[in-house]
């Protein structure tokens, strides 16, 4: 059949969705436009600018709030099948709660979505990409179990407003970054640094929030709207440094800590948190004098609510680490998630290094990660919802490292398709340069460069934009393709 032969030819199927991804706070600007409410990134960057490398913020960013038509023009230039973006919760619900819906906020997203649909670009919408309404943070954010109901209420509003046109929903982007970096550490808002219990309590409540929003869709919207609803988890490949049993187990613990905390409750047969992590944390908590384990348990009812609550597995994938039971350990704060698992990680110096310290080009890492998840969770539907490479601004047009990275990644995607992984799409991070969280505007992930100094926030295609466009058009990876012009066009 067509599929079998196309696999043989190392072609991407015609219905494979090629896209790019962004997130609201990183691109939109309009931080107080109309009646938008304050969120945790507004609050943190305004009151504590020193936590951002260049003391910048997302007040204006790429000003997509005013430039959305240019964004869609870029999608058309690239020939995208799909575009993944996120909704700003406090732009739609200024106080976080559903008693007041902002008409201006809803209008903005209606216009953005309609503009995409005019050109047959499939919107893939993330409900939460890290910008919690400040009011809900004041009430404890993800440490307050009520977050599950607040999130469900918000989800119902957006399904109702946009679900006639949006058929791909992602509840949460990267729970590990929300819970570990935001609550268990100081590397994302709200920089709570509750190292002992923050990550674990957030994890449980986030999973339940996801599950409630999923069931709301499945029960009350899917029957008439007919879309799918899933979650995106960051899955970097974590393999053993050596073939010893100790290192293999260390790698398994690292995988459970990085993404199993969120994937097991949703995608495993048994449900609940990963068994080994729960055992380790319970034992250490007792030794440390806590009256209860620092990691909570799911009641039977909660376990059932979360189990199977996703139509697909969204994967954000960037890199890999090699994991050791005894070597390369870091001095983690005790107690904390990574002190609990107590393993070391290593990356070979010969792997190309991006501008972001954590990002290297690791061979076959998409194939390793996806085939592992495919086997572990009984072949779910996958989307790669982010994958990309950072550079410093200085490189401007010639982004050959990014091109090398994308070609390697896309070859790994073809290997997955060849081996029967049910992967339906690939979103490059990112359509354009944007506010890279704690790194501000110093690290650039865009296929398009953004001139943040200019009034218009001018977007200019890098070489990688032309290369990606040609992959999407031809459905093959030509390792020698060189663009003939720096001037973009629409086919």
C-alpha to C-alpha distance for 301 and 454, rounded to whole angstroms: 54
Nearest distance from residue 91's CB to ligand PNW, in Å? 17
Between 175 and 274, whose beta carbon lies closer to ligand PNW? 175
Nearest distance from residue 177's CB to ligand PNW, in Å? 5
Q: Which of 17, 23, 202, 416: binder of ligand PNW (CB under 6 A)?
A: 23
**What are 193's strand-pairing partners?**
none
Q: Which of 28, 38, 174, 302 is catalytic?
A: 174
Radius of gyration of the CA atoms of the chain, in A: 21
378-397 mask for ligand PNW (x: CB under 6 A)? --------x-----------
Q: Which of 151, 159, 429, 468: binder of ligand PNW (CB under 6 A)?
A: 429
CA atoms within 13 A of residue 176's CA, in its CB half-sphere: 19
Nearest distance from residue 363's CB to ligand PNW, in Å? 16
Between 122 and 173, whose beta carbon lies closer to ligand PNW? 173
Span near ligand PNW by CB under 6 A; candidates 48-56, 134-142, 313-321, 418-426: 313-321
C-alpha to C-alpha distance for 324 and 332, rounded to whole angstroms: 15
Q: Does 346 bind ligand PNW (CB under 6 A)?
A: no
Q: Does 39 bind ligand PNW (CB under 6 A)?
A: no
Between 200 and 429, whose beta carbon lies closer to ligand PNW? 429
C-alpha to C-alpha distance for 430 and 437, rounded to whole angstroms: 14
Q: Which of 88, 122, 199, 236: binder of ligand PNW (CB under 6 A)?
A: 236
Q: Does 64 bind ligand PNW (CB under 6 A)?
A: no
Q: Which of 39, 316, 324, 391: binder of ligand PNW (CB under 6 A)?
A: 316
Contact residues for 108 (Cβ-Cβ < 8 A; gap 6+): 30, 65, 68, 91
C-alpha to C-alpha distance for 281 and 198, rounded to whole angstroms: 13
Residue 246, Cβ neighbours under 10 Å: how many? 14
Nearest distance from residue 362's CB to ligand PNW, in Å? 11
C-alpha to C-alpha distance for 7 and 151, rounded to whole angstroms: 40
Q: Does 358 bind ligand PNW (CB under 6 A)?
A: yes
Closest CA to 75 of 117, 33, 13, 38: 117
Closest CA to 310 of 202, 416, 425, 210: 210
187-226 mask for ligand PNW (x: CB under 6 A)? ----------------------------------------
Task: Say whether 302 is catalytic.
Answer: no
Task: Say whether 103 is catalytic.
Answer: no
Closest CA to 120 of 87, 84, 83: 83
Judge whether 99 and 57 are in contact, CB under 8 Å: no
133-172 mask for ligand PNW (x: CB under 6 A)? ----------------------------------------
Q: Does 177 bind ligand PNW (CB under 6 A)?
A: yes
Q: What is the DSSP string of 469-485?
A: HHHHHHSS--TT---S-
C-alpha to C-alpha distance for 325 and 251, rounded to whole angstroms: 8
Closest CA to 429 of 409, 411, 452: 409
- The binding site for ligand PNW (CB under 6 A) comprises 23, 26, 173-174, 177, 234, 236, 316, 318-319, 358, 386, 429, 436, 445
Q: Annotated catalytic sites, by residue? A: 174, 386
């Amino acid at each position: 059949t067509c599929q079998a032969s196309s696999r043989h030819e190392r072609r991407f199927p015609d219905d494979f969705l090629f896209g790019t991804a962004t997130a609201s706070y990183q691109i939109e600007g309009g931080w107080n436009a109309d009646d938008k409410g304050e969120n945790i990134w507004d609050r943190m960057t305004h009151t504590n600018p020193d936590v951002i490398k260049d003391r910048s913020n997302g007040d204006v960013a790429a000003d997509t709030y005013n430039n959305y038509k240019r964004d869609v023009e870029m999608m058309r230039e690239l020939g995208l099948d799909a575009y993944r973006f996120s909704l700003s919760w406090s732009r739609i619900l200024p106080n976080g709660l559903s008693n007041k819906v902002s008409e201006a906020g809803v209008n903005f997203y209606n216009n953005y979505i309609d503009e995409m649909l005019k050109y047959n670009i499939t919107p893939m919408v993330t409900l939460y990409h890290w910008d919690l309404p400040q009011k809900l943070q004041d009430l404890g954010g993800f440490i307050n179990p009520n977050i599950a109901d607040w999130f469900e209420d918000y989800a119902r509003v957006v399904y109702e407003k946009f679900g006639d046109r949006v058929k791909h929903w992602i509840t949460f982007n990267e729970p590990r970054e929300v819970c570990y970096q935001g609550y268990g550490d100081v590397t994302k808002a709200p920089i709570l640094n509750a190292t002992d219990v923050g990550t674990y309590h957030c994890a449980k409540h986030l999973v339940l929030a996801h599950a409630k929003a999923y069931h709301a869709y499945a029960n009350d919207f899917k029957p008439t709207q007919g879309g799918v609803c899933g979650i995106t988890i960051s899955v970097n490949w974590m393999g053993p440094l050596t073939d010893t049993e100790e290192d293999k187990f260390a790698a398994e613990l690292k995988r459970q800590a990085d993404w199993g905390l969120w994937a097991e409750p949703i995608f495993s047969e048994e449900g609940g948190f990963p068994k080994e992590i729960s055992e380790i944390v319970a034992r250490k908590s007792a030794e440390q004098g806590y009256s209860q384990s620092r990691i909570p348990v799911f009641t039977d009812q909660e376990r059932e609510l979360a189990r199977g609550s996703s139509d697909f597995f969204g994967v954000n994938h960037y890199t890999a680490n090699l994991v050791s039971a005894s070597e390369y350990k870091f001095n983690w704060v005790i107690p904390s998630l990574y002190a609990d698992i107590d393993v070391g990680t290593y990356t070979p110096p010969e792997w190309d290094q991006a501008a972001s310290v954590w990002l290297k080009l690791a061979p076959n890492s998409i194939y390793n990660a996806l085939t592992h998840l495919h086997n572990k969770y009984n072949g779910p539907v996958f989307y790669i919802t982010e994958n990309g490479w950072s550079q410093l601004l200085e490189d401007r047009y010639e982004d050959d490292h990014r091109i090398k990275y994308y070609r390697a990644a896309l070859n790994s995607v073809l290997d997955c398709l060849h081996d029967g992984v049910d992967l339906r799409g690939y979103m490059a991070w990112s359509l354009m340069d944007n506010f890279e969280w704690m790194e501000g505007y110093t690290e650039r992930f865009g296929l398009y460069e953004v001139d943040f100094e200019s009034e218009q926030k001018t977007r200019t295609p890098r070489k990688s934009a032309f290369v990606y466009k040609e992959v999407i058009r031809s459905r093959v990876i030509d390792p020698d393709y060189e663009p003939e012009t720096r001037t973009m066009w629409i086919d």
